[in-house]
Structure 1
Amino acid sequence: MDTYILGTGLSHDGSTVLLKNGKILVAIEKERLTRVKHDGGNDFNTVQYCLDFAGIKASDLALIVQASNFENNISPGQYAGRRYFDGYIQTPVITLSHHLAHAWSAVGMSPFEECNVMIVDGAGSPYAQCLDLEGTTTPSYPFSNGMYCEKDSFYHFNGKTLIPLFKDFSEVKLFQECHSLKLPTNYHSIGGLYHAASQYCFGNMNDVGKLMGLAPFGILNGKPPLFKLESGIIEVLYKNVDAYFNKPSSGYDTFKNDFKHYADMARWVQDETEKAIIYLFKERSKLYPHANFAYAGGVALNAVANFKLRRSGIVKNLYTQPAAGDNGIAIGCAYYGWHEILGQQKASIPDHVFFGRSYSNDDVEKALSDAGIIGNTAFSINQTTKFVALTAEELGRGKVVGWFQGGAEFGPRALGHRSILADPRIKDIKNHINSAIKFREDFRPFAPSVRIDDVQKYFIHGWESPYMILIDEIKPEWKNQLDGIVHRDGTCRVQTVTSAFNPDFYQLISDFEAITGIGVLLNTSLNRKGMPIVETPAEALSLFLSGAIDVLVLNNFIICKHHDLLL
């Protein structure tokens, strides 16, 4: 009899994951269904999605494990509406603390039989709600005098048990409103300061990826440290924050009119964040030295800091959980249930992150019909088994392609199932996609997708990076030719592709190389600014029709615009 465990994350960036016999069967982020970026809270629709995919009922679940920030301190409206488990009291429901869920997500997804685990984010659970305090070293804070929440946690996984070794906390000083949620700003956390800098530069605390992209346009100008790094503890130096964070942006016009100031601030915060992360790994490694590290929490998505950490040599083998942010805590909940509650051994790890449901050709045909494309002379539709080779030809002609295949990626990066693709050699391709398709700022970079066989040909370090959460440096001889995927500082957030991970995408890159002599594609997510990555064929078509994507590939359907008939 099959054993199903459901993990669900109720924080911002909510999600639900279903394990079948210890392996991920399906997973979905709430924002993909509601179309509200970073959506969280009530999980009815994500649970329904997973149960429908599996063809089971909630009563078929062996166990439900959930986690959020601030279980007892969230605004009452967060869970508004009926939850799927109402009335199913025969299925045990377990609530997990935040960093423990992050940690199990890293352990469950990692390739290591044994490893250290580092969790770094903005804020986790309050001290009183943490389930992993026994045997853990924590600094002495007046926990009874305020709300102190997790800011970084360190564990060791010995192959069977996750052992907490050190947890640091910080008092919560401020609450920010985000959709229906009230999210914490942890006073002394790395992630909290990074979110604050995002709010300062862009007027939005969730534009942390944009902040990382802005940093190379700035200079340091001899600014003082932002963190006190002492005795293994990280504290924000607020006297330095207050001295420089004195012109908060009120929106894009403010930002654009003082671009240099905000770029310099982004560079400062990024540089200080890198130092703090390296310090943290160095100090925690002294507590329990080990060659392997699994890493999660929102700060783990900082691809530039990951590069600096890897280059430092402090960690020999680093695995960063692809959905390291709060969208990944549902994975940790599910794995916790499998290992800790049911006492099962670690199952084989997934070899991809395409955990969404696939859409059939019938779904595609219905979407085409509903969009009025079938029979419309402004478009051509070609359903063919040669869709990969023909798509490579379109890319070789300079077309921008929307690429929709199989189940959606779980996590923040488009990895070849929900992607916008282009030839990186095209002059000004970055500006074209940013302005006419993504409708976003012109400083935002694009990633290269390259076969693992060729990564050392184009990039200096040539590291394996299947999930696009590690940067590399372009080799000088390719910088001008591949300008579309090279950022201001000569770096690229690389995705390495194997035939096992994504056979059609691997073949597409191979066919593109056969045509152009270049084995690299520009790859960005199939969405526009402020929009979650598309989930359905209908959403992909809507994006295709409202912007400058030339060709859309839905499964084996190739839809081309005849631009002269669309004028």
Structure 2
Amino acid sequence: MTTAVDHVPSVVLGVCSFTHDSAAALLIDGELVGFVEEERLSQQKHTREYPRQAIGWLLGEAGITPGDVDAVAYNFQPIRYLAETPAALRMALSGTTRSRAIPRAAGFAKVAVRTRRRLRLLAQDFPDARVTPVLHHRAHQLAAFTASGWEEAAVLVVDSLGERQTTTIAHAHQSARPRVRMLEGLTDPASLGYVYGAVTEHLGWRRGDEEGTVMALAALGDPARFRHVFTRAVHTTATGFAVDPAYFPPRVLTSGYPRTSPRFGAETCPPRQPDEPVQEIHQDLAAALQERTEQIVIHLARRARLVSGSRRLCVGGGVATNCVSIGRIIDAGIFDEVFVPPAPGDAGTAIGAAVAVHTDSGSQRPLSGIARTCYLGPSFPEPELDLTSWPGLKQKPLGMDAAEFLADQLAHGMIVGLFQGRVEAGPRALGNRSILASPLEAGVVERLNATVKFREPFRPFAPMVTAVRAREFFTLGQDAPYMSMASQVTDAARERIPAIVHANGTARLQTVTAPQNPFMHQVLEAFARRTGVPVLINTSLNVKGKPICGTPEMALDCLANSGLDALLLEGRWITK
């Protein structure tokens, strides 16, 4: 007779695919073997393609074949989309939403069918595995909570759309395995991610990619100019918020339906084309959007504190990448501590979906390798570097003093790419695929934006600092290992390292400890011995429009085709 234990999956593959930010994660007996976003290997930013290279690396890393996979966890449940059909049809009762009722109902039904088809495609690649769809927000919740390493916490997920959910508040606790209890939730069209993406597009940037540019632009504007618009368009309720369809028409899951209304444009400004100059009115619109986003997020955090009773908060979903809003939650003192996982967006749901299937299987094997980790992707410890394809590049090996050497070059004003160890999870470079520069160098921000990153001149750069000295320069009051929180700065920072201070007086810092990243900690300490400042500028090893470099070839391309002075690639110093 077969027992329940015989059915416990020991090899669980988590997959985010077919929508955006494709990624894969692998759990074996509860241990996270690895996680990587497909873009880091395919060079296609935010790719929606099936993560074939990511999965191939994971299976190779574990030394297994597709036939060894017991369960595949997918990060959406198709049946949940169908529940939107009657709700969408009810929109026909209002003149404001009538024109979108039938297309919206049809779109959600179509996505339900499409998601079922995707599950069948996964089953074809893994014929011996059980393919399990996981509720999208549950995957977010588990990804955020298990990464925190806490025994108990409130969990707030805010994104654009997961099946129908857009915002959820839950309470999580860890005993033998993680448990998440849903407390409250909002469904589309009450979507903060939808609103932010819609205005990003209205301002001429790519929705789903360049919301961070709008957040940076907001620091230059005056929110008062359009505050009244956003107060009406996104109004708070006792349990969350609602979106006025007169400004942001309900979502239709088909292209060709604008996300902002003519009224929104009339009360703010006409849509900006990407090649048009950025004007004061665009800055003010971005500022009002960001201000309202922060107000709503703080309102949701207070609600999470009230209904959960917890003094710790985990935040997930795409809106969790809005580091200024996260910093505002911390500054408000609502919770004793706030945590954002390294991959809070959809890519990270590959981990959360795998955890869900592992947990639901009844396995008693504890999870490991997830809490407080971010370096989860492929490494290339001794790459064979044939520089024939990059004429003009030359290399030399460095000895054991690589950290001292790098610190010295940075102190002398060089801008250096760093490629070492395993690829980071999530949208931030955290010292393994980074571009580093001295914040003491005159004009460094202008040079980085214009000749290295090729991006807008108003974009700020994040500092990394040794955790033990963070309070000298930043007021955040807690660790920020994944560069996910904006902090106010001290007078010492304004006086000594103004290059890392954005126009709104904040900096999106990363705190570094020796256990977390030994090499970067050594570099920061060596830089401090030379300059007195344990702070470096850290931005991702890529140029605008390209993903963070996941392979040596991508890093060499970045060096050859940008204003980088040099690249330190696994102990090799490569220059032009």
TM-score bin (small chain): 0.7 to 0.9
Residue type of the partner of 2:158? V
| 1:122 counterpart = 2:160 | yes
Tell me the SS of whatever aligns to 1:99.
helix
Q: 1:393 to 1:512 in 2, by over 3 A?
A: same
Identity %: 29
47 and 382 in structure 1: CA distance in 2 versus 1, 3 angstrom threshold: closer
CA distance in 1, matches of 2:526, 2:486: 25
For 1:92, the aligned partner's letter is R
Runs of 5+ consecutive residues of structure 1 not aligned to the other structure = 126-148, 171-186, 562-567
Does the aligned pair in 1 maintain the 2:77–2:134 contact within 8 Å? Answer: no
Structure 2 counterpart of 1:486, one-letter code: V
Distance of 2:365 and 2:300 partners within structure 1? 30
Counterpart amino acid of residue 133 in structure 2: T
Q: 1:105 to 1:559 in 2, by over 3 A?
A: same
Match of 1:216 among 219, 243, 247: 219
> Partner residue of 1:275?
295
Cα distance, 1:253 vs structure 2: 3.0
Q: 1:338, 1:344 within 8 Å by CA — same for their partners in 2?
A: no
Counterpart in the other structure of 1:31: 39
Which of 381, 385, 393 is the matching residue for 2:400?
385
SS at match of 2:536: strand
Q: Cα 1:327–1:397, aligned 2, differ >3 Å: closer, same or farther?
A: same
Partner Cα separation in structure 2 for residue 364 and residue 518 of structure 1: 36
**RMSD of Structure 2 on Structure 1 (CA):** 2.4
**What SS does the corresponding residue of 1:552 show, helix, strand or coil?**
strand
Tell me the SS of whatever aligns to 1:444: coil
Query: Does 2:437 correspond to 1:415?
Result: no
Deviations 1:209-267 (A, max 9, x none): 1111111100022521142112213112355665553434443332x2x4211111111
Q: Does 1:297 align with 2:317?
A: yes
More displaced 10-residue stretch of structure 1: 311-320 or 301-310:
311-320
| Aligned 8 A contact 2:77 2:133 in 1 | no
Whether the 8 Å contact between 1:43 and 1:83 is mirrored in structure 2 is no
Write the mapping of 1:373-522 to structure 2, written as runs, cut at 5 A. Answer: 379-522=394-537
Counterpart residue number, 2:196: 194
- C-alpha distance after superposition, 1:52-106 (max 9, x if no partner): 2222111112321111386773496998999565264322111112111111111
Change over 3 Å in CA distance of 1:407–1:493 after alignment to 2: same
User: CA separation of 1:251/1:81 partners in 2, compared to 1, >3 Å: closer, same or farther?
Assistant: farther
Which whole-Å CA distance do the structure 1 matches of 2:509 and 2:21 have between them? 24
Instruction: Quote the Cα distance in structure 2 between the aligned partners of 1:485 and 1:107.
Output: 30
Please tell me whether the aligned partners of residues 390 and 560 of structure 2 are also in contact (alpha carbons under 8 angstroms). no
Aligned length: 514
DSSP 3-state at the match of 1:73: helix
The aligned amino acid for 1:194 is Y
Q: Distance in 2 between matches of 1:324 and 1:97?
A: 16
- The residue identity in structure 1 corresponding to 2:472 is K
- CA separation of 1:80 and 1:24: change in aligned 2, threshold 3 A: closer
| Contact 1:353-1:409 at 8 Å conserved across structures | yes
SS at match of 2:442: coil
Give 1:486 deviation, angstroms.
Answer: 1.2
Q: Corresponding residue for 1:146?
A: none
Q: Unpaired runs of 5+ in structure 2?
A: 1-7, 80-108, 249-260
Counterpart of 2:28, as a letter, is K
**Of residues 69, 73, 76 in structure 1, which corresponds to 2:110?**
73
* 2:190 match: secondary structure: coil
| Aligned match of 2:257 | none
Deviates more, 1:280-289 or 1:511-520: 280-289
Distance (Å, rounded) in 2 between the aligned partners of 1:212 and 1:303: 9
Residue in 1 that maps onto 2:338: 318
Could you say which residue in structure 2 is the equivalent of 1:143? none
- For 1:477 and 1:532, the matched residues in 2 are separated by 34
**Structure 1 residues 119, 90: closer, same or farther in 2, change over 3 A?**
same
Distance 1:2 1:240, change over 3 A: closer
List 4+ stretches of structure 1 deviating above 6 A.
77-82
1:146-295 pair list within 5 angstroms: 149-159=164-174, 160=177, 161-170=179-188, 187-206=189-208, 207-222=210-225, 223-224=227-228, 225=231, 226-239=233-246, 243-246=263-266, 247-254=269-276, 256=277, 258-295=278-315
CA distance in 1, matches of 2:173, 2:461: 38
| Counterpart residue type for residue 486 of structure 2 | I
Whether the 8 Å CA contact 1:450–1:520 is kept in 2: the answer is: yes
TM-superposed deviation, 1:399 = 0.4
Q: Is the 8 A contact 1:42 1:78 kept in 2?
A: no
